């Protein structure tokens, strides 16, 4: 099992955001995670990524605690946030950060970018935050796909993409290794229906539905 | 460790592109250059005799500008990244929190200290050239010690800024709290201490101790002692300080104490960074 979350709870200022959540993600699981705003989807993902100290329960990723062993955990996870952050580094520097920290080759990122019709070389000196929304998102997707991870987490990955960009993105997802797991946080199941084999529905900090498709 | 240097390098690169760095460099670098160029007089090469009043003004300006510049530019380092979700993305890569935090601190230290150190270095070169043509000795000891005091002052505020940056979640609160700390420290150089003294409720020793726990005051006294070893500028307190510590220990204290406090604050910041939620 890749991710095991047992009875995890998390409160923010007295409000329970995760309420006794248990979940397992196995190799090859393609999950669509849905639910209304404030349901706890992003909090759960952030807990898996080791950003939050949970109040109770336990999480392990490949047998490692995400907070105590964050480097071992994050070696095998790729993450794309909902909105591209305003990173001030130039693209060249951002790629250097990814290359040195995660062992991903720049060439691989260039290759994945060109598959998404993103010409990185002509923008290489530009600060990341000066790219258009769609370009930023494409680059984040290219980085995530270049990193050979066993779990890919996408938080609304296509929010900034035009229809053609979305099409390319979904096309690339079909090329992902079958052993690799993906977790999509989405409000639009219809778009990724063909790409997922499991759907999880969350509400008020609980997993209310978890079924194979 | 390799990630620590990578983060420091990227932070320096990012800072070198930002506007605050240029404003800071021009203001502080210019100030430092003026400080040393003013010290290069025709009669005494790089000597500071007769310039004490001017130097005092420079020291006062440094006391006011350096801390607030460091606080404003650094306090946003982690809290700003957290607020804009940059931290979420950057820390989704396999980088340890130790490398990230200390790398950021190293990078920021280099960028705040560079504009301070470069004019000192240029002034030294200028002094050497003057010395070749007009004779006279460079006051190496003074240049070295003044640079050390600046190093210590920069370090303590860097540690404080990182501490505030990690314990506070929003940039506004981080900026607000750094202003409050800065104003309190400035007040406790003179005004607040005089108020305490006039009340006659607290012994003078306690008041002097409070003053000597304030890194800004420590810098001021250390810097003044370079050109006025008897500390006549600060009045009768000088007797107490020199009798208690002696001039050498006073200088060592002025260098070491702020560094120790800066390290402690930075370490507490690191503990908070590790123990609290990152986002």
| Cβ atoms of A67 and A57 closer than 8 Å | no
CB contact under 8 A, B95 and A101: yes
Q: Give the pLDDT of residue A41.
A: 93
Q: Give the pLDDT of residue B48.
A: 47
Using a CB-CB distance cutoff of 8 angstroms, which residues of chain A are in contact with residue B89?
Answer: 79, 81, 84-85, 87, 140
**DSSP state letters, B124-192:** HHHHHHHHHHH-----HHHHHHHHHHHHHHHHHHHHHHHHHHHH-SSHHHHHHHHHHHHHHHHHTTTHH
Candidate from A73, A77, A86 with C-beta closest to B86: A86
| Cβ atoms of A50 and A66 closer than 8 Å | yes
- So where are chain A's domains? 1-76+149-213, 86-148
Residue B26 CA to residue B118 CA, distance in Å, equals 12
pLDDT band at A102, cuts 50/70/90? very high
ipTM value > 0.90: yes
CB contact under 8 A, A86 and B84: yes
Is residue B50 predicted with pLDDT exceeding 80? no
pTM confidence score: 0.89
Read off the pLDDT of each residue in B150-176 and give the average, rounded to a whole number.
91
pLDDT band at A134, cuts 50/70/90? confident
Q: How far is B153 from chain A (nearest CA, A)?
A: 28
Using a CB-CB distance cutoff of 8 angstroms, which residues of chain B are in contact with residue A79?
Answer: 89, 92
Using a CB-CB distance cutoff of 8 angstroms, which residues of chain A are in contact with residue B85?
Answer: 81, 83, 85
pLDDT band at A174, cuts 50/70/90? confident
What is the Cα Rg of chain B in Å? Answer: 20
Highest mean pLDDT out of A148-162, B78-92, B258-272: B258-272
Using a CB-CB distance cutoff of 8 angstroms, which residues of chain B are in contact with residue A93?
Answer: 10, 13-14
Q: Give the pLDDT of residue B194.
A: 73
- The model's pLDDT over B217-250, given as tens digits with 9 standing for 90+, comes to 999 888 888 877 788 777 777 888 888 888 889 8
pLDDT band at A126, cuts 50/70/90? very high
Is residue A55 predicted with pLDDT exceeding 50? yes
- The model's pLDDT over B115-130, given as tens digits with 9 standing for 90+, comes to 777 776 776 677 677 6
Q: Which residue has the higher pLDDT, A88 or A167?
A: A88
pLDDT band at B37, cuts 50/70/90? low
Mean pLDDT over all residues of chain B?
83
pLDDT band at B47, cuts 50/70/90? very low
Residue A212 CA to residue A145 CA, distance in Å, equals 24
Fold assignment, A1-76+149-213:
Rossmann fold (3.40.50)
% of chain B residues with pLDDT over 90: 32
């Amino acid at each position: 099992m890749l991710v095991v979350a047992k009875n995890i709870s998390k409160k923010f200022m007295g409000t329970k955001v995760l309420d006794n959540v248990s979940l397992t993600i196995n190799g090859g699981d393609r999950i669509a995670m849905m639910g209304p705003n404030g349901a706890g989807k992003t909090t759960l993902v952030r807990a898996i990524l080791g950003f939050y100290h949970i109040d109770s329960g336990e999480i392990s990723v490949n047998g490692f605690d995400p907070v105590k062993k964050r480097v071992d955990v994050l070696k095998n996870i790729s993450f794309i946030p909902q909105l591209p952050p305003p990173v001030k580094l130039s693209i060249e520097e951002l790629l250097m950060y990814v290359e040195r920290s995660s062992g991903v080759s720049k060439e691989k990122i260039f290759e994945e970018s060109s598959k998404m019709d993103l010409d990185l070389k002509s923008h290489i000196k530009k600060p990341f935050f000066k790219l258009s929304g769609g370009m930023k998102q494409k680059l984040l997707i290219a980085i995530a796909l270049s990193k050979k991870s066993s779990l890919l987490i996408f938080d609304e990955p296509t929010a900034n993409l035009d229809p053609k960009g979305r099409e390319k993105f979904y096309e690339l997802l079909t090329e992902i290794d079958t052993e690799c797991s993906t977790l999509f946080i989405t409000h639009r199941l219809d778009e990724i229906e063909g790409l997922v084999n499991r759907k999880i529905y969350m509400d008020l900090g609980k997993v209310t539905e978890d079924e194979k498709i | 460790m390799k990630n620590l240097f990578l983060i420091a390098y990227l932070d320096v690169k990012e800072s070198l592109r930002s506007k605050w760095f240029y404003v800071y460099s021009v203001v502080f670098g210019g100030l430092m250059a003026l400080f040393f160029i003013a010290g290069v007089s025709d009669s005494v090469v790089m000597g500071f005799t007769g310039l004490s009043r001017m130097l005092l003004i420079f020291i006062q300006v440094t006391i006011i500008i350096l801390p607030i510049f460091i606080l404003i530019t650094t306090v946003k380092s982690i809290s700003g990244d957290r607020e804009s979700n940059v931290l979420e993305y950057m820390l989704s890569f396999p980088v340890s929190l130790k490398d990230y935090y200390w790398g950021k601190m190293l990078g920021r230290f280099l960028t705040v200290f560079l504009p301070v150190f470069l004019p000192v270095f240029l002034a030294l070169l200028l002094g050497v050239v003057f010395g070749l043509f007009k004779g006279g000795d460079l006051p190496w000891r003074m240049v070295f010690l003044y640079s050390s005091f600046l190093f210590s002052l920069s370090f303590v505020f860097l540690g404080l800024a990182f501490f505030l940056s990690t314990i506070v979640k929003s940039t506004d609160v981080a900026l607000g709290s750094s202003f409050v700390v800065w104003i309190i420290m400035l007040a406790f150089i003179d005004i607040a201490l005089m108020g305490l003294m006039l009340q006659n409720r607290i012994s003078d020793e306690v008041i002097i101790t409070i003053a000597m726990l304030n890194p800004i005051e420590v810098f001021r006294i250390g810097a003044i002692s370079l050109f006025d070893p008897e500390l006549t500028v600060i009045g009768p307190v000088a007797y107490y300080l020199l009798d208690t510590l002696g001039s050498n220990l006073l200088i060592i204290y002025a260098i070491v104490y702020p560094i120790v406090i800066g390290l402690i604050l930075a370490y507490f910041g690191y503990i908070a960074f590790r123990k609290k939620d990152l986002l």
